[in-house]
Structure 1
Amino acid sequence: MQHVKVPKCPLHHLFFKIKTGLCAFILFFVAAQAFAQQNLIAHEAMAEKIYIQADRKAYTKGETIWFKGVVAQAKDNVPSTLSGVLRVELIDPFETIVGEKLVKLDNGIGNNFFSIEDFYAPGTYQLRAYTQWDQNFDSDFLFSTYLTIAEDRIAEDVVRKLEVEGQDALRFVFNPKLIDPTVGSKFELELAYNDQVKKRVIRKNASDYFLLEEDFPEETSWVHFKLTTESGKQWSESIPLSRPAIDIQFLPEGGSLVVGMNNLLGFKAIDETGKGVAVEGTIYDSQNNPVTAFKSNKLGMGRVYMFPNASTRYKVELTAPKDNIKLTYSFPEVIKKGSKLSVNRVGKIIALQVNSSQLVNDSVYVEVSSRGMALGEVGRKLEGGKQDFVFSNESLPAGILVFTLKDQNRNPVAERLYFNHLETEAFDLNLDLARDLYKSDEEVSLKLSTAGVSADTSWSASASVLVIPKDLKEEQNIWTYFMLTSELRGRIENPSFYFEGTQLVKPNELDNLLLTQGWRGYTFNTPPDTKAMDFLPEFGLGVQGEIAALFDKDKAKEDVDVSLMVFGEEQRFYNQKTDSLGRFNFLLPPLEGRRVRAVLQTKNEAGKNRNYTLSLDEPTKPKITYDRTRAYFKDQDSLSQVLKTIRKNDGADSFFEYDPNINELDEVLISNYELTPQRQKVMDTYGKPDVVIDGREIETKANEYSNGLYGVLRQAFGDKISFQMYQDSIGVRYQKAMVTGGMETIVLVDGIPVLADAYQFLPNLPPSEVKSVEILDGTTQNFMPLYRRVYPFQDMRSTPVQGSILAIYTYAGNGFYTATKSKGILKTSIPLFARTKEFYIPKYDSEDTTLGSADNEVTLYWNPDIKLKSEASATVKFPNNETPGTKTILVEVISRDGKLGYKSLDYKVED
């Protein structure tokens, strides 16, 4: 029996590629400590895993999304101390970030919330989280999940597709009254499909129906609708245009289907939404003789054995779920010579069998790895192409293992993923309730206890306690995410199917899943030193940027004094000198709030401003990837349960009794428009301009009385745009642009929003620097998030849903600051850590009516961070609400040494 030991690795593994920066030496130190004792074989082993626990999947407006974030080292699930900032974003169905929180991490743990504002459009939202460091690993370690936000009533269909035979064009009927009871005779509709965006105005026809008829290209699978009523109410949904087709794939164990061997193949059947489909079928040879039959589980997965023939091509026919229609599929190619690697578990023994017709009497090696770290390698000589390897499962870590068969030159020839279940690796957690039946409004006392954890620290583990109606229980938890989902690419459907708590109850089904994933589906498969590390870890709040000489590009930029003044509840002052590249990096204390005003200056020894411009680094955001299938297949069970708890259904109109022969359409036509990259960005995000003023015309209108761009616009184009004197909160007066009509006007320069603090400098923008000025009048597309970005200190409840945009394009094309070239000073605002708040629990025996509404109407209790200590118990108490039924207590734990715990406990509440 082999006992694999972890070898030491030379330090040259640590010299990975990374951009030069002020923190590079710190990063090297951290990396050296983390990896000096292990053999790094995958780039992804240096990543951080991120897990977000939200209190549920479905919400209504006015509620709160409570969440806890856990950031752990990818290689061992130990809470990470590398990143101090977790960025959490709420993304609407239009792929717009409507909410963003900077969450402070303490030993990899943080928590916060999102308030669901009234202006959020109903739909399916993506909750996304990432650290700056994880952007070095593509999208593999960005966490995302999907939540449904609905109106506070039972959800109805706002749109339905009409089935009309004999017509190429598709018809849809809309019921906008479900989102806006005051809707008039028309609404705006945006259609997105195949990377195209079209706008329509849908008018009520003679039969009082809102009907759309559209001819889509044949290859169109999905269309995304965005509906906006005249009062600004919005709604969105993605609709499939074709019936879900079934796709089935067969993947041989080890990677190849080899002649003359009994081959194990895993298979998986999915529809076009990615959901598993239960199937039955038969494999046939080229003479249409049946070879073997197969049947999947409810998730569309299973396994089959067969001896392939070299001269035969195989095909697959499905007989279910299509009752009377046989669907035919191709089959993997058969190879005459190859190698197989099979894995079986017998008790505590993991047995590997090598069978090769390619390497008959050669020496081979089996490497064992876990999460991108090599655990060891065992070599043997084949005898007649066969050899057995035996490992003790207790000598290997829990979770997904990779067994790699290598030839005598150590080239990989076969791979196999295997889940090693070890009960001792789960966190030992006990939950105790006094009884399992309670009255409504009665207090519940829950005791948490643990044993066997380290006693040499102030706390040994962080636990969260969540109490919700049983019907809202999630399919994923901290155990399934860290041990399974986070290490496999793609969507893993219902990961809790394989476990009860932390116990593996369906090992064969889980092995089928791993067979269908294959090596390409494994997250840790990029060789080290093959990718540049462009992103430094974010230890905390900071201000980073660089200086540039105004008139002399060769002027020295090293050792220039830069001062930072931060104006919060108390003023803070910082000074430092730039490095050889002219860069500065201020680290700030963990301030909380939304944003804080700040001023940066460059000065000489006499204290005067120096001729340098200052620019700040813009944080890079990962590309938004929104799964349209999630916007269509809502979590209807969870949503219905939430809505029934909050308000009973008040009935629905029989709106969809329509006449399909009556159709009146009105189309908004978009004329040709010459696009630059900056114009394309603005049009895609906010819409097409209504007015375009050429920069050459602006320059010819300039005179000695103009005094900058705003002076020219006021004198020569006053019929299109006006200006008002405005005074900000610190008393600075300046001209503010206002598109004629009086709507709030936001200014973009080269597609980049100008923050409110810089509006005072816009009037003096040189007309000679301006290529064009364009006006978007009365736009609703993404205006609210734009407004909140420009005015971060405004009350979010006063955010307008509609406004105008003044888009200025310069010849430099790099935004406002390169066009103005301010001398030695930069006014800006800095994002801060989001403030946390406690879950409010009412006291039902209190007569104080000023306490406000409770948070526990659906979610009964939420405590995201209970510190568990060795040999000590923790007790939490909470009242039931007035809703009877079965409640579920969910407890998730991660310890300082990376052990994971998950338990659930049910109890009943009656009136």
Structure 2
Amino acid sequence: MYRFLKPLSKTFFCFVIVSLFFNISLFAQEESTIVDHLEEYAAAPREVVYAHLNKSIYIEGEMLGFTAYVFDKFTKERSEMTTNLYCTISDKDGKIIKKQMVFVKDGIVSNVFNIDEAFTDGTYTFKAYTNWMFNFKEQNHFQQTFSVLDADNENEIKISKDNTMDVQLLGEGGHLLYGTLNSAGIIVKNKSGYGLPKAKGKIIDENDTVITEFTLNNFGIAKVLFTPESGKRYYTVITHNQIDTKKEIKDIKSSGFVMALTNIRENLVLSFKTNENSLNNIKNKSFNVALHNGDELKLIPLKFNTTEERMILPKTELFNGINIFTVFDENNQPILERLFFSPTSTEENLKLDYVSTTKENDSLLVTLKLNNTTPETFQNISVSVLPSETNSYTHQHNISSQLYLQPYVRGAIENAGYYFKNTNRKTQYELDLLLITQGWSSYDWTTIFNFEDNFNFPFERGIDVVTTVNNKKTQGTYLVYPLKNNSTQVFELKGNENVFTQKRVIPTEGEKFRVGQIKANSKQGKPGVYPQFYPSVFPTFQSSYDYLNSSGAEFSEDIKTPTAEDSWDKRIEKLDEVVVAVNRKQERLEALTRKANGESVREITDSEKIRGTTLAQIINELGFFAQYDFVNAQFTIINPRVQRGPSVPVLFLDDALITDPNILRDIPVETIEFIESSRLSSSRYGFRGFAGFIKIYTGTSFYYRNDGAEKTTSVFDFPLTFNSPKTFYTPTYQFYDTKFFKAYGTIGWYPNLKTDPNGIVSFKILDTKANTVNLYIEGVVNDNDLISEIKTINPNTGD
């Protein structure tokens, strides 16, 4: 019997051609139960993380470079809810070897881990997650294994060739049933979890009669149809290397029903089949088919009149991406489930129009041209450059598969990125074969039905500091000194107030939390305060999901490891940090100067800070009049050019409006980098701008270099800090035409490339004289469009 379906808002109902026999009130009650529970479960947003690692096999002394992308799971857009991303590397026993908290901006962050003496030869797991993910039992985090090779401990390359096979036959939807035609997926894996490609197989009965034959695809997967007879035993037989592996097919049920999905042009056909013995037991029962994607749900009533019921679904009614069909019995218990992927232009990756190379001395200038890029939108592209013969890039996921596929399945997926590189009929068919063998989705209906929206783990945006003042007299002005990523903040407590809160603090390694108090006598004092930091502990994420280990290898005698110390030498990193700090200050000065329109931008020099020049002296040099009234403990600033009207200029501290000049009276000049000012009336500030304005900008470039005895400030360690971005350094090799370099060498890693207005990306790589080089490209362009490609370039031809 066919049913044609048409959606209505979040649920859709069947127009039944043959009869209208459904109990409407019962259906409404069941619908409310299932739909309401999923709506409540999915009401809160979710985040999904993808990390692009530059390699999957490392040598001690190299750097692991990564660029992490945080997405909204439902909208597929970059998430801007969380800034704190936790990254860990753990060994095979789950012990964390290294960890970082990194700061996410615009949904993107990149950094490096040093593969140093903390690592021995073996396999490790990289994880990336947010605090918000702890609220859900979903596999939205990122995890990937990689190998570390130690040339000193190994003598020869050994690639595992274990012929042990794991053969699984799974009924489509989850069940096999005697006495009816079953659709089933077969997947054959080796000991490491990788599919056995192109092997021949068959299903036989207990009399060795061949029921059906099949050939596995490149990932060891095939689909079969067969009708098992009650009382008989059946077996799968896989032939590999002229050896037959035989396994009995168990758990064939005598009663119940099965499901199958057929993709026919513009429609999907859902078939539900039962045998004659089961029909009498189920024909009077009401079932429901829920179609959902983890966010929205549509419900279809199902009732059996014959041994086969069919539903036709127009593909226009499907969700973009994953569609999960779950069949519920009359008690709202899930009994069957099938996943289907509906490709749309939403997850289509952008493509490269062309790649070109130009030789420049000992380097190659690589130019990538993307199609359909929009200027002035967000762009971030990460590129790993490796020899084309490399064994060191065996990632199972790319940015698309991690976002559109991984969060919805339970099993490990081999080369998941393959299904998204070229969306065509072949890849769609093979993806559907994969989903048949995945069984149940990652959504657990027991969890959904029992979900309570108690979100104990909030979104984290930097670190919040709640400071309690312990002085007897808490009233007064408190200064929180600047950090590299935070400006000076001023807090004024009145009455019985004894607490102030600083939000979104971004401390990096080595920085401290400093608080000073401006007392009534215009002197700065050391306050008695007690700060509390949120978060204060690095959270350990225990959740995991099935994944494949990266292909491991060991050294042979003719392969020599390079000296790779330069890839993470701390002296180079330190010098780089100093250069970055200097450049950042210069860029800030240039930006302020460009922005100023007739105003002056005054830099406070180091010599002025050393001499102890006061802020009042500097303001007076700018043409204003500032003075301390020690009797009344007042700090005043006026514009002497103003004869009538308000003479006090508009005051800002790090772009925050200051209404009381006394707040500025004892700000240490050593924390100030620039002052932008104008004595002319400024209409942009309305009547208050009649006497001009003064904008004070603080920084840390001098303050932390001249950090003496802390007599006037209370100083505290941050219990948790962000890891500063480090520059990736490519190892140096004595020879480039060796087996070692071709298999495990690194040519370059570029984590934060941008397109120009013409959609062109350019970067330089070392010319290793190789005939071909591989580019592994992942990223986001046009705000939220994805790009994922592997390109082989030929430096000799310029392509």
Say yes or no: TM over 0.5: yes
Question: Compared with structure 1, are the counterparts of its residues 66 and 329 closer, same or farther at alpha carbon in structure 2 (3 Å cutoff)?
Answer: same
Q: Displacement of 1:117 after TM fit? A: 3.1
Match of 1:537 in 2: 459
Q: Is the 8 A contact 1:564 1:598 kept in 2?
A: no
Q: Does 1:906 align with 2:792?
A: yes
SS in structure 1 of the partner of residue 120 of structure 2: coil
RMSD: 5.1
Any idea what SS the aligned residue of 1:506 has? helix
Please give the residue correspondences for 1:174-253 in structure 2 after superposition, counting only pairs within 5 Å. Answer: 245-253=164-172
Deviation at 1:596, TM superposition (A): 1.9
1:480 lines up with 2:401 in the alignment: yes
Matching of residues 137-536 of structure 1 within 5 Å: 137-138=136-137, 140-151=139-150, 156=155, 245-277=164-196, 281-285=201-205, 290-312=210-232, 314-316=233-235, 318=237, 320-321=239-240, 327-336=246-255, 338-356=256-274, 357=279, 359-360=282-283, 365-370=288-293, 372-379=294-301, 383-406=305-328, 412-423=334-345, 425-434=347-356, 441-451=362-372, 458-472=376-390, 473-475=393-395, 476-501=397-422, 503=424, 505-521=426-442, 526-527=447-448, 530-531=451-452, 532-536=454-458
Task: Give 1:7's aligned residue.
Answer: 10
1:206 aligns with none
CA distance in 1, matches of 2:104, 2:458: 16
Cα distance in structure 2, aligned partners of 1:910 and 1:451: 29
Alpha-carbon spacing, 1:480–1:608, altered in 2? closer, same or farther (3 Å): closer
- Picking from 743, 747, 769, the partner of 1:859 is 747
Asked whether 1:833 is paired with 2:722, we answer: yes
In structure 2, the CA distance between the partners of 1:6 and 1:891, relative to structure 1 (3 Å rule), is farther
Answering whether residue 485 of structure 2 is matched by residue 596 of structure 1, we say no
Given that 2:465 and 2:501 are in contact with CA atoms closer than 8 Å, whether structure 1 keeps it comes out as: yes
Pick closer, same or farther for the CA change 1:562–1:634 going to 2, 3 Å: farther
Structure with the greater alpha carbon radius of gyration:
2
* Change in 2 beyond 3 A, CA 1:907/1:543: same
CA distance in 2 between counterparts of 1:441 and 1:612 reads 57
CA contact (8 A) 2:747 2:765 kept: no
What displacement does 1:880 show? 4.1
SS at match of 2:448: coil
How far apart are the structure 1 equivalents of 2:510 and 2:271?
A: 60
Per-residue deviation, 1:483: 2.1
User: Residues 508 and 857 from structure 1, CA distance in 2 versus in 1: closer, same or farther, beyond 3 angstroms?
Assistant: closer
- CA distance in 1 between counterparts of 2:124 and 2:308 reads 53
Distance change >3 Å, CA 833–CA 505, structure 1 → 2: farther
Q: Give 1:328 deviation, angstroms.
A: 3.7
Instruction: State the Cα deviation string for residues 813-844 of structure 1 (Å, max 9, x = none).
Output: xxxxxxxxxxxx994334333222455799xx
Measured after TM superposition, the shift of residue 518 of structure 1 is 1.2
Q: Distance in 2 between matches of 1:147 and 1:282?
A: 36
Q: Deviations over 1:391-444 (max 9, x none)?
A: 333443432211233457766443211122234641433332347x97983533
CA distance in structure 1 between the partners assigned to 2:398 and 2:750 by the alignment: 15
Counting only pairs closer than 5 Å after superposition, residues 538-687 of structure 1 correspond to structure 2 as: 538-543=460-465, 568=483, 586-591=502-507, 593-598=508-513, 618-619=536-537, 621-623=539-541, 634-636=551-553
Percent identity of equivalent pairs:
20
Measure, in 1, the Cα distance between the counterparts of 2:529 and 2:368.
65
> What is the TM-score normalised by the length of structure 1?
0.55
Deviations 1:345-404 (A, max 9, x none): 12332222233435447665443212x022433446655244433333344343221123
Aligned pair 1:133/2:132, yes or no?
A: yes
Task: Tell me: CA distance 1:378–1:330, structure 2 relative to 1, closer, same or farther (3 Å).
Answer: closer
* Distance change (3 Å), C-alpha of 1:378 and 1:568: closer
Where do 5+ consecutive residues of structure 2 fail to align? 13-34, 565-703, 705-713, 732-743
The structural deviation recorded for 1:51 is 0.4
**1:294/1:478 CA distance change after superposition, 3 Å:** same
Deviation at 1:479, TM superposition (A): 1.8
User: Conserved in 1, the CA contact under 8 Å of 2:236 and 2:249?
Assistant: no
Q: Sort the Cα spacing of 1:440 and 1:280 in 2 relative to 1 into closer, same or farther, 3 A.
A: farther
Counterparts of 1:510 and 1:367 in 2: how far apart (Å)? Answer: 21
Provide closer, same or farther for how the CA distance between residues 645 and 106 of structure 1 changes in structure 2, counting only shifts above 3 A.
same
Cα offset, 1:623, TM superposition: 4.8
Given that 2:536 and 2:719 are in contact with CA atoms closer than 8 Å, whether structure 1 keeps it comes out as no
- Residue 492 of structure 1: CA displacement? 1.4
Looking at structure 1, the residues matched to 552 and 353 of structure 2 have their Cα atoms a distance apart, in angstroms, of 29
TM-score normalised by L of structure 2 = 0.62
Partner of 1:886: 772
Deviation at 1:262? 0.7
Q: 1:339 to 1:325 in 2, by over 3 A?
A: closer
Cα distance change of structure 1 residues 84 and 614 upon mapping to structure 2, 3 Å threshold: closer
Q: Which runs of 5+ in 1 are unaligned?
A: 10-35, 161-238, 550-558, 649-792, 794-824, 843-855
Instruction: Please say if residues 287 and 327 of structure 2, whose CA atoms lie closer than 8 Å, have aligned partners that are also in contact.
Output: yes
Deviations 1:475-529 (A, max 9, x none): 4311222222332224212224445445563333322221121115558984166
User: 2:50 — aligned with what?
Assistant: 51
* In structure 1, C-alpha distance between the alignment counterparts of 2:249 and 2:749, rounded to whole Å: 52
User: In structure 2, do the counterparts of structure 1 residues 528 and 315 end up closer, same or farther at CA, with 3 Å as the change threshold?
Assistant: same
- Aligned pair count reads 594
What does the per-residue CA deviation read over 1:162-205, in whole Å, with 9 as the maximum and x for residues that have no partner?
A: xxxxxxxxxxxxxxxxxxxxxxxxxxxxxxxxxxxxxxxxxxxx
CA distance in 2: counterparts of 1:105 and 1:145, whole angstroms: 20
1:331 CA displacement: 1.3
Q: 1:478 to 1:120 in 2, by over 3 A?
A: same
Give the aligned residue type for 2:415: N
Compared with structure 1, are the counterparts of its residues 251 and 315 closer, same or farther at alpha carbon in structure 2 (3 Å cutoff)?
Answer: same
- Asked if the contact 1:450–1:873 (Cα under 8 Å) also holds between the matched residues in 2, the reply is yes
Shift of 1:111: 1.3
Please tell me whether the aligned partners of residues 281 and 320 of structure 1 are also in contact (alpha carbons under 8 angstroms).
yes
Task: Quickly say closer, same or farther: Cα 1:838–1:376, change in 2 above 3 A.
Answer: same
Residue type of the partner of 1:515? I
